[in-house]
Structures are given as C-alpha cells and as structure tokens.
A = this chain, B = another copy of it.
C-alpha cells in the first residue's frame, strides 16, 4: 500500500465507527452499499477505499465486519497509542474530552491546560488540568504527541508556539485564527465559523433557485 489520500483516511475512520456499531449489534458481514448509505456516499467509493487498503470482501456476502475493523485499526492507529493534550479547558475543550471519553483506546487525552487558577490542579471529566507554565514539562513527561488548540483566538499563536517548543508532532487548531508551524509538525485547522457560513451560503442558494 502506497499513498492513501487524505479523504480516504477520513472515510476509513468513519467506516470504522459505523462498523463498530454493527459489530456490537452482532452483524458479522456488511455490504459496500450499506456502509455507503450510512456515510452518504456511493458504494463504489467505499469499495475503492477498501481496494486502496488492500482489503477484499467476499462476493455476495460483503465484508467481514470484525476483520475490517481490525485492518482499519492497523492502518490508522499507532501500536503504542498516542497521547493528546487539550490547550484551553473552556467549553470546547471540555466538549472534546466528553466526546472522547473512553471511545478510542489508542488515542488518549491525558492532559489539559488552562490559565484559569480555578481549573488548574483539578481534574475535569477525568483529565487533569495544568497551568500553561508547566506545558513544556508535562508534554515531555507524558510523551504527548498531539495538541488540540481550543483557546480563545487571541491566544492561539502563543499557545501553538508553546506546543511546538514542547515538541508535539501534530496540532489540531480549533481556533478561528490560522497559525504557523514548522514543517515537521502536522497541522490541521478547522473553523466552525467558516463551516456555518458555508451552510448559510448553500441555504441561500437553494432559496434563490426556488
């Protein structure tokens, strides 16, 4: 297997989630079009993605749910698991922690950081909250590889710099402020305002057509 497209990676993660649910309900096999319906995509797309990861199903029986879950795991998970930190324990940071709570064994949120003295030293939803001043120390101690930025926009840049200095390898930036990182740090930015504006645009468009 050579290069997996970004989009394929995203879909694999989603396939797995759907498959895990199937698995719980005791379903042993699944067709490409069933996966496709769940994800609002086409069956060909699913089959092509699975082709790319070299998984082959059974004709007329579909794909073995358990096998596929394991294969996807072997591709996207790290064997040893990856430690993650949340920078900014506000509403968004806490929302993320709750989302994750116990879901992914290979991705663990092991630390949160904040500037609010009321939060520092406490545990929130099972995640200990530390002071920003201790960020570098904790990141190194706990071998944290990924930082999720959920601070207010005007602290995004300094927080990102802290993370980079501490040696994280990936940053997921949820602030609306674009940040810069060195080449060896993988950066993913997501902007909720943009997404809502996009939805609004297409709603407007649809109204206009009518």
The interface of chain A, by Cβ under 8 A from chain B, is 6, 9-10, 13-14, 17-18, 38-40, 75-78, 82, 84, 90-92, 94-96, 98-100, 103-104, 106-107, 145-146, 148, 150, 169-172, 176, 178, 180, 184, 186-204, 206-207
Contact = CB atoms under 8 A, between A and B. Distances in A.
Contact of A200 (B40, B82, B99, B189): B82
B104 A98 contact: no
A149 to B, nearest CB: 12
- A-side interface mostly: helix
Contacts of A150: 95
Copies in the complex: 2
A84 B197 CA distance: 11
A184 B187 CA distance: 35
B199 A186 contact: yes
B198 A40 contact: no
A170 B203 contact: yes
A39 B178 CA distance: 6
A168 to B, nearest CB: 9
